[in-house]
A and B are shown apart, each in its own frame.
Chain A
Amino acid sequence: MSSPPNKNRTATLCLTVKEDAISTFLPLLAQGFTVKTRVGCGVQEMLCGQFGLDADYVEQRLQTIFLDGKAVDNVKASVVRHGSTLALSAAMPGMVGATLRRCGVYASMRHEITHKNTPTKETVKEGTVMLKLFNLVAGDIGPRFLKQGIWIKGKNLQVFFRKAPDHFWAGCRAAEIDGRHLEVDKLSNLDWGQQQVFLKLRVKLTR
């Protein structure tokens, strides 16, 4: 196991991958990644105003939303703070899916874990938020975050490379750490320690 350069600092890892390798990153997005963004605003403002998601997409696709582990009903009044965790999912099946659903008929059945819209005078400012993208949502909007760049825990990345399937390696064309070229097959040997890694994908379109 070798260490990346400057193990004790943050590192930037750029990967050039074929489009069909992107799906291998989706479980990583479900574990959570950090983005720098403006905080102190409502969930909807963050999703639409800052992440650029379409309002219809938020309304119709993001049927299950958690903010700091609590189920969200009011996307305008639920305020995302610095260090918050925001988890996004499509509608879920079953009894519990109906119960957790945003503004669902059965929302009262999970009253104890519903996000209460606490009034806040927090001003909007720069901060960081952990995002988790689950199931269909990861496939829908995950690639845009991967292309813009996300902060990932080094240990999560290490496990990802160790367990990456053959078609990831077949699709990963190039790697750079802090602007310096690295052989792709050395990625699984790197010990990232406690670093946060800024991961960014360049997608090579296949003809």
Chain B
Amino acid sequence: MDKILRINMGNEGGPQASEEPMGDYAGLGGRGMTSAIIAKEVPPLCHPLGKDNKLVIAPGMLSGSHAAQSGRASVGCKSPLTGGIKEANVGGQGAQVLARLGYAAVVLEGKPKDDNLYKVVINKDGVEIIPDNSLKMLGNYDLIDKIKAEYGDKVACISIGPAGEMKMAAASVAFTDMEQRPTRHAGRGGVGAVMGAKGVKVIVLDDTGMETRSPKDPEKLKAANKAFTQGLKKHPITGEGLPSFGTNILTNVINEAGALPTHNFQSGRFDGAGNISGENQSEIMKTRGGMVTHGCHKGCVIRCSGIYNDKDGNYLTKRTEYETVWAHGTNCGIDDMDTVAMLDRLDDDYGLDTIEMGVTIGVAMEAGLAKFGDGEAAINLLKEVGKGTPLGRVLGSGAAVTGQVFGVERVPVVKGQALPAYDPRSVQGIGVTYATSTMGADHTAGYAVTANILNVGGSVDPLKPEGQVELSRNLQIATAAIDATGMCLFIAFAILDQEDTFNALLDIISAFIGQDFTADDVTALGKKILEYERDFNTRAGFTKKHDRLPDFFKTEPLSPHNVTFEVKDEELDQVFNW
């Protein structure tokens, strides 16, 4: 992984590929790579769909090796949804294969001069950029079937669906999983629209004949990897909970906490939550012959994904994640697991961010376009997006635009991006992250690695408001660093609880790069990445007034606890003071 592949889609004689050494980007991976390139090379005031924006696809520092859990990729650009810097993180096979092909990043640049749609094929012999208009407006599933028929069942694909071709701000970039299905998505922020603006429908990756990446110290990596894997397997979350129930293990618990977004964030508890919980979902999956535990990429030992079959026992979609279950389910008043699964399938096929679309449909329901709880109507609204009807184009532009078009006041977005995961009135520290993250509202931006282990700050009383700000800061730093490695963020709990597992992670990185990598290095890396991102956003015109939650979180008490968001603006402004 010692070179960068640049594909200039706007080259005078037609799209052209060139390779270059890492240069200033040496040592970076994942989010570190994407944010560095975007911050340095993309004019912050450019149009996100224009020739000056770039789409950067980067495997993690450890991807393509034998390191467990290292198959995550980052997709970065200036976001058409937020207008700021974006890194969308994704599993699937793409990172592993791209890394073994030797590329630390693929950078799509420029803008095509014709209206052809292109496929990019990368293998050990080089890069081909081929116009193929037979792929136009294919859903991701049909597209991948076509690619498989042409290139075989060992390739990994990175693609957009019709939403990306139509340059919708909620469009995702799909990565195929181990079964070559387009079920993993770099979802957030409209990265799919930028790929569509570059005229690229699919990148086909074939690493046949390429070697697994070798660390500088193979024996050290082997030992550290073994300790790390054992640590993940013995921890109840990574070794039992996630494999048994997937991320949907959260639904019942978040509901009990009164933090489950319900009916467009009107309340925090949903009566039908149990019907779409991970517990119920697993029972349905077992009954129908699906796969309850399944990894999204080779090398995953946590295996939180799965395969969900329909009533007849035929494949429908992957095990729906918590993010889909709350966004399309509880937030829209829908408590039928098959309906939620169908919405997930459509998101994957059209190439849409499941969070943005769930929140958008919730806003649409509040606007009266459908009743809360009407699953069929929700499916029809999503189909409008796939077809690109005028209504579909509004919805496909995300929750903020939909709210504006239909005159809805309660629109849960920050920096134009829909809120994920949990209501910030119940879990206020997470609200701090939603408000201040460089990415817009993002729950994975501030993840769980203990401040004690990282020894970042930690001198402030956590019960004081400034303590919550400090926690959010520490978490955002740690997450940025983990995102650079290619590691799946679900390692977080195991490394939080088990210091030997955290040390094994540091040893894996050290073994790979051939020099010591300490907790201080994790902090420094995370801070560097956030500094790139903050700098870009500032130059793009963002100020502290953008680091705020919508007003309704401060004025509307959330049932069942009757709480509002209480963290003051002055406190939010302290997050990035270091």
Contact = CB atoms under 8 A, between A and B. Distances in A.
B430 interface: yes
A97 B287 contact: no
Interface in A1-58: 23-24, 26-27, 30-31
A181 interface: no
B429 A109 contact: yes
B257 A108 contact: no
B279 A135 contact: yes
A136 interface: yes
A97 B429 contact: no
B247 A135 contact: no
A186 B468 CA distance: 56
A119 interface: no
B259 to A, nearest CB: 7
A99 B428 CA distance: 10
B281 to A, nearest CB: 9
Using C-beta atoms within 8 Å of the partner chain, give the interface range for chain A: 35 or more
B307 interface: no
How extensive is the interface on chain B, given as a class?
Answer: 35 or more
B422 A96 contact: yes
A134 interface: yes
Q: Binding site of A, secondary structure by majority: helix, strand, loop or mixed?
A: helix
A27 B274 contact: yes
B166 interface: no
Nearest to B284: A165
A160 to B, nearest CB: 11
Interface stretch (B194-202, B222-230, B344-352, B445-453): B445-453
A111 interface: yes
Given A96-B254, A96-B422, A105-B450, A69 B240 contact: no
A64 B250 CA distance: 11
Interface string A136-171: 101000000000000000000000000001110000
B455 to A, nearest CB: 13
A108 B432 CA distance: 12
Given A30-B277, A108-B429, A64 B283 contact: no
B241 A94 contact: no
Contact of A93 (B242, B279, B452, B566): B242
B475 interface: yes
Contacts of A87: 253, 256
B245 interface: yes
A166 B566 CA distance: 50
B252 A99 contact: no
A136 B241 contact: yes
B236 interface: yes
Contact of B443 (A95, A100, A111, A134): A95
- Of A90, A96, A165, most buried by chain B (CB within 10 Å of CB) is A96
B428 A111 contact: yes
Contacts of A90: 236-237, 240-241
B421 A91 contact: no
Given A100-B257, A135-B279, A138-B279, A106 B471 contact: yes
Contacts of A138: 279
Contact of B444 (A61, A69, A95, A98): A95
Interface in B461-499: 462-463, 467-468, 471-472, 475, 489-490, 492-493, 496
B253 A112 contact: no
Contacts of B433: 95
Given A24-B283, A66-B256, A98-B496, A110 B428 contact: yes
Interface string B244-262: 1101011011101111000
Nearest to A85: B256
Contact of A61 (B236, B280, B422): B236
B287 A109 contact: no
Contacts of B283: 23-24, 26-27, 165
A135 B304 CA distance: 14
Contact of A69 (B252, B258, B286): B258
A56 B394 CA distance: 54
Contact of B561 (A100, A113, A165): A113
A201 interface: no
B247 A93 contact: yes
Interface in B101-140: none
Interface-central residue, A26, A71, A95, by most chain B CB under 10 Å: A95
Nearest to B443: A95
Given A27-B280, A108-B429, A109-B428, A92 B492 contact: no
Interface string B28-65: 00000000000000000000000000000000000000
30 contacts: A27-B277, A27-B283, A30-B252, A61-B236, A64-B253, A66-B256, A69-B561, A90-B240, A91-B237, A91-B241, A92-B237, A92-B250, A92-B253, A93-B237, A93-B249, A93-B493, A96-B443, A97-B250, A98-B492, A106-B448, A108-B471, A109-B427, A109-B432, A111-B463, A112-B563, A113-B426, A134-B256, A135-B253, A136-B244, A138-B279
A-B pairs, top 5 by smallest CB distance, nearest first, are: A109-B429, A98-B448, A165-B287, A108-B462, A27-B280
Given A90-B241, A93-B237, A108-B463, 7 more contacts: A95-B446, A95-B447, A105-B471, A105-B496, A108-B471, A110-B429, A113-B257
Interface of B: 236-238, 240-242, 244-245, 247, 249-250, 252-254, 256-259, 274, 277-280, 283-284, 286-287, 304, 421-422, 425-430, 432-433, 443-444, 446-448, 450-452, 462-463, 467-468, 471-472, 475, 489-490, 492-493, 496, 560-561, 563, 566
